[in-house]
Structure 1
């Protein structure tokens, strides 16, 4: 097999000595560090593309890198050295003189520059490539040391932004009174990965923006950079990011929400202190005037209406009157996240940042939130993968892709139409220009050596140089998911509950006389308010919880795959996805584990990164890969679409429809329910009711309840 040097000489005959020595030095000195062809291409691919001077496309460069990688993988005893001539240091071409040029030529046949020719590669790019490689090696050393020393230390996000003297002057002088947000020419990275480069984000006050894009591209990171002021926002604009759940303490839920209005709380506190001084006779005589000022301010901000407004928000998010008086420590994590959302809605910041707000809500609360946000007066930036929610709430869509942000007016459906039209126009324009270029090139090639046409040829060459460089449409890769079939013909009953009672405390029945059944052709969606018992019923169906009374029957050959609402808790975050599957299902090859993960979009470098460093959607895909490894014939899925991007949700729906086995799922995603489910079960009043009219009927029932409660 040819050595790396032979491959380089063959593919790049004009490669100069300095670059040849640099590339072979990388391949020889760092060959053992390259775990994949992707890493090798990242180290030297950009340099080779520049050397090729557009004679080789990306596919050809990739193929050359693959050959180099294969050569490096050979055992040392069988492989030739990466370079038959390896220099101790790069050749300084400026020091090469005629006196010893022949000797140098003997050392590097065909690789020295011709007299007067300069290096084809920018020295700065060489330095950048060296820096990238060194950073990669340092990162690998750090990762290897962490494996033996303890938990993984996660990379951190960072942002940089070009400064604007005009905005800085306006900010310092206090003249900037606008509540529009303009963040221009900024970069965002997560560790070594560049998420955004040269991006612009313009948010007009009062509009509601939906931020969409594939999992792992940096949507959540961007929100965090804005919230932490890592990207400059005018200081007079208040920002609230709903990210962490409310801390559990003795504060009642309603009071926890009211405390968000710090102005009101401060005025009420001062009013109590002044009143106490007057009552005790410790006043100085000025308290009365100050109290009058406080009462005027309280009236101005409508402080007396605040408890009612807070109560309406809490009720809309599912807190009944009793729950509003419970202390925050009595609520689970999911309810505390709802409290955090309620506090943000009550505080009414100038810029509200929401990251997947519907993940913590049931269908009823989602419908209420859609209605509430439609009348929101300030600016919203929301990350969501719920198409119906975005259609109801968003006035604009921001699409994050290819390390940039594209803005679209209108809701999500409008965004999809405009995006498709843009892509078609871009492709047509590119193809038309390619044809035009070919037409000109044919003329140039035909008359290149015709003296009579020399001026025309020169004119055509200049025309080619002036043409803008158009790129073909950068289409996002299609997401595919496939659940392995486990279908066998079983005689019924397959899975059923007969007259089941269940409670955690005898005074409070979760279910009473519950009877439901499913078979291997079922596509059932379970809906209902949070706390109605949806997840509990799933655990009874799986056999994880035993009925207090009644019977659970499951076919002896039934093999259930379960996706938990809290699936991340099932994953070891300190190891890679490949290691995770190897520990859970030992005895298979690494290639088999990688193939399984690849079926769910976890391929290449993602498969060997610590699970903790993956995005929420990527962790969900790892959980799917783990769940389907034993090939179940029945799936029970609790909120499977949480954190998944829209493309993956669509792919999941298609996979479930093709799967030859039974499915019961809990979901609040209206589009997903419509795509998959044939039956709708509603959990309420300690039982389950089958809705014959499907989701449309259920939505109508909820809207009627809203009207009765005064929400609509």
Structure 2
């Protein structure tokens, strides 16, 4: 029996020791009476089936056959060799029959009776099965609790030409254009790009566009990280992480990017110290110092601080801020520092991912103007439509796991793409009509002997036609805010409101403004002017230093800000996220809510960590609206949203039946929804006539005035 026990343990590694012993006992007690594997299956098959759910009944029957062979080595093909049984003594059938006449329970002497020990003990079986189920449930619970969510990683593969590889190996590749051909990019199991090609011509500015989650940011990381091979002589800079905060001054942090200048200045200082301390002049050292001076002069080292200061000023750093240590700045300002360093160092290939997210409108206008004269190659991911219509010379459209290139800015791209799709659809429809007409001829004369040659010719012609596909229409993005009931005015009123923090610096004072259920108000102004502070006063998060903010008692705010997106639980999926925040609702309601913001199907079941920035924003919108607010307060809602989703957001705001106050730097969205513009700056908040056009004129005049100083 030890052989059977070892076989059972090997075949069923998860079997409980008690259950294994139980099976062995049944087999041992019935070893003399098992005549076939079917009888073994009847005795222990049900128990073994419960132990291993992945084995079929056929598998268990085969195992029972093997067990029978181990128990009875002489068992062959369902029969037992030498099965005749020798009696210990003669049997007198007549006397046996006579004895049975007086027996109330008559049994045939010719029927073999099954030994009762072979029957499955119901109590033992029930106990063993209960113990097995308990173990399985515990194991499944442990898996659910302790297995962390799988963190996906991006991977890339690429086909390179032998010619370029040889040139690269010899250090003779001096190409100015970047060609990345026939490459794939995947994120975990999801294929983002397949057989794609990119050509980046030196000196041109490329805008990379496409829907959220298709892999734009991932592609930039692949290029910057070297997973996609480009000529080694190209310097690449990817603005992705904020500058580390330390005691380095903001201006010095930018200047340190020019390593050539920094090394020359360091060498000049060392040699000057040696020459000044030595008693006699060293001609070789003096000659080297002269060479260092010449190199510093050739790179215009003395003009570098002024250039760095101009860039910092354009991105919103005042002269006082430029002399502050980097550790004194918030994360948003450190990201601006990272952008300033990139602009100052001028790499051969500059990669920017949503550079306008961290900027106010004044800085965006400055950046648009600055990048129009960018001397090297630029690849930028942006969802700011005005930025894309101002900066790029070319558009790269990422869709359907490939990249299509278009000449011109975003507006020209939309026109060209629309016309291209119309032509493709017309060509497809014309070919389908032609195919149908030819097929009718073939079907009509297929069995006509006189037309056989013509039919064969038509069939061959159809086979040679190129296979055209209809234009794949991208699914339209729709966002829907909940319906609300109208409230009677007054709704929201700011009366003589002033605010200052613990310091004496007044953020704003004497603010007298109001809003209604029909309001579509956009607040603009420089970073740090108090836009977010004003929103928090309106919602009652902050109390004004003086004055009052009066709101309707039934007003229910829905607040969206970028930090809400950043603080989402990344280890759960979107449905679970809503379940945590709004308990007790049916799963269908959570899914319906997510679906109204474009997070549907399998997307709603992905971990939040695996979603793109724009998809996370949609989840945050869905969570905000679960509370059914009737007044929306949106602080920079367009960060990470793609152009199509921003358009959908604009339409949703327009259709919303409640009031809206919006802080945004996206010119397209402001023009879509804004009915009233509040400017925050110079210690006050005021409404202006003329809308965004008037505000843009004011900003451009300020920039022009600053550049002339």
TM above 0.5, yes or no, is yes
Give the structure 1 partner of residue 585 of structure 2.
588
Asked if the contact 2:489/2:516 (under 8 Å) is kept, the reply is no
Q: How does 1:300-699 map to 2 (within 5 A)?
A: 300-492=298-490, 494-699=491-696
When residues 332 and 204 of structure 1 are mapped into structure 2, their CA distance, relative to the original with a 3 A threshold, is same
| Offset of residue 570 of structure 1 | 3.4
Cα distance in 2 for residues equivalent to 1:667 and 1:437: 52
> Quick check: which has more Rg, 1 or 2?
2
CA contact (8 A) 1:188 1:195 kept: yes
TM-score after normalising by structure 2: 0.79
The structure-2 alpha-carbon separation of the partners of 1:678 and 1:144, relative to structure 1 and needing over 3 Å to count, comes to farther
Give how far 1:286 is off: 2.5
Query: How far apart are the structure 2 equivalents of 1:274 and 1:573?
Result: 55
Distance in 2, Cα, partners of 1:387 & 1:548: 39
User: Is contact 2:193–2:401 with CA below 8 Å preserved after alignment?
Assistant: yes
Which of 272, 275, 279 is equivalent to 1:275?
A: 272
1:208 alignment counterpart: 205
Change (3 A) 1:711 1:590: farther
1:238 and 2:235 equivalent? yes
In structure 1, the residue corresponding to 2:487 is in which secondary structure? coil
SS in structure 1 at match of 2:398: strand
C-alpha contact (below 8 Å) 1:189/1:195 kept by paired residues:
yes
Q: Which residue of 2 aligns with 1:37?
A: none
Deviation at 1:170, TM superposition (A): 1.6
**Secondary structure in 2 matching 1:292:** helix
Mapped to 2, the partners of 1:150 and 1:386 lie a distance apart of 40
Contact 1:368 1:711 in 2 (8 A): no
Which ranges in structure 1 are unaligned for 5 or more consecutive residues? 1-80, 90-141
Report deviation, 1:338.
0.3
Given the superposition, is the C-alpha separation of residues 144 and 365 from structure 1 closer, same or farther in structure 2, using an over 3 Å criterion? farther
Partner of 1:217: 214
Equivalent pair of 2:511/2:686 in contact (CA under 8 Å): no
Secondary structure of the residue aligned to 1:186 is strand
Aligned to 1:566, what secondary structure does the other structure show? helix
Q: Does 1:291 align with 2:289?
A: yes
Deviation at 1:88? 12
Give, in angstroms, the shift of residue 614 of structure 1: 0.4
Question: Counterparts of 1:14-33 in structure 2 under 5 Å?
Answer: none
The Cα shift of 1:153 comes to 4.4
Aligned partner of residue 270 in structure 2, secondary structure: helix
Matches within 5 A, 1:99-110: none
Aligned pair in 2 of structure 1 residues 630, 341: CA closer, same or farther (>3 Å)? Answer: same
Offset at residue 378 of structure 1 (A): 0.3
Alignment coverage as a number of residue pairs = 580
- Contact 1:208-1:395 within 8 A present in 2 as well: yes
> 1:173: how far off?
2.4
1:151–1:530 CA distance, 2 compared to 1 (3 A)? farther
For residues 51-90 of structure 1, what are the structure 2 equivalents within 5 Å?
none
CA deviation map 1:350-392 (0-9, x unaligned): 0000000000000000000000000110000000011110111
1:521–1:662 Cα contact (<8 Å) kept: yes
Q: CA deviation at 1:147?
A: 5.2
In 2, the alpha carbon distance for the partners of 1:505 and 1:262 equals 42
| Local SS of the residue matching 2:501 | strand
**Residues 146 and 152 in structure 1, CA contact (< 8 A), matched pair in contact too:** no
The answer to whether 1:159 aligns with 2:156 is yes
The residue number in structure 2 matching 1:120 is none
Query: Higher mean Cα deviation, 453-462 or 475-484?
Result: 453-462
Aligned to 1:191: 188
Q: Is the 8 A contact 2:348 2:376 kept in 1?
A: yes
Structure 2 residue aligned with 1:174: 171
Counterpart-to-counterpart distance in 2, 1:382 and 1:148: 41
**Offset of residue 144 of structure 1:** 9.3
1:439 and 1:547 map into 2 onto residues whose CA distance is: 77
Instruction: Structure 2 unaligned segments of length 5 or more: list them.
Output: 1-53, 63-138
Q: Could you say if the C-alpha distance between residues 144 and 247 of structure 1 is closer, same or farther in structure 2, counting changes exceeding 3 Å? A: farther
How far did residue 178 of structure 1 move?
Answer: 1.9
Q: Partners of 2:297 and 2:61 in 1: how far apart?
A: 81
On the 8 A contact 2:529/2:680 being kept in 1, the answer is yes
Q: What is the CA-CA distance between 1:487 and the residue it aligns to? A: 2.6
Q: 1:56 maps to what in 2?
A: none
Asked whether the equivalents of residues 657 and 676 of structure 1 are also in contact (C-alpha less than 8 Å), the reply is yes
Aligned to 1:11: none
TM-score (norm 1): 0.79
How many angstroms does 1:436 deviate by?
0.7
State which drifts further: 477-486 or 206-215: 477-486
**Structure 2 SS opposite 1:530:** coil
By how many angstroms is 1:565 displaced?
Answer: 2.6
SS of aligned partner of 2:212: coil
SS at match of 2:649: helix
Residue matched to 1:131: none
Q: Aligned-pair distance for 1:321?
A: 0.3
Q: Which of 231, 244, 247 lines up with 2:244 in the alignment?
A: 247
Q: What is the DSSP-based 3-state SS (H/G/I as helix, E as strand, rest coil) of the residue aligned with 2:562? A: coil
Change (3 A) 1:696 1:151: farther
Distance (Å, rounded) in 1 between the aligned partners of 2:379 and 2:60:
55
3-state SS in 2 of match to 1:671: helix
1-side partners of 2:449 and 2:700: how far apart?
Answer: 81
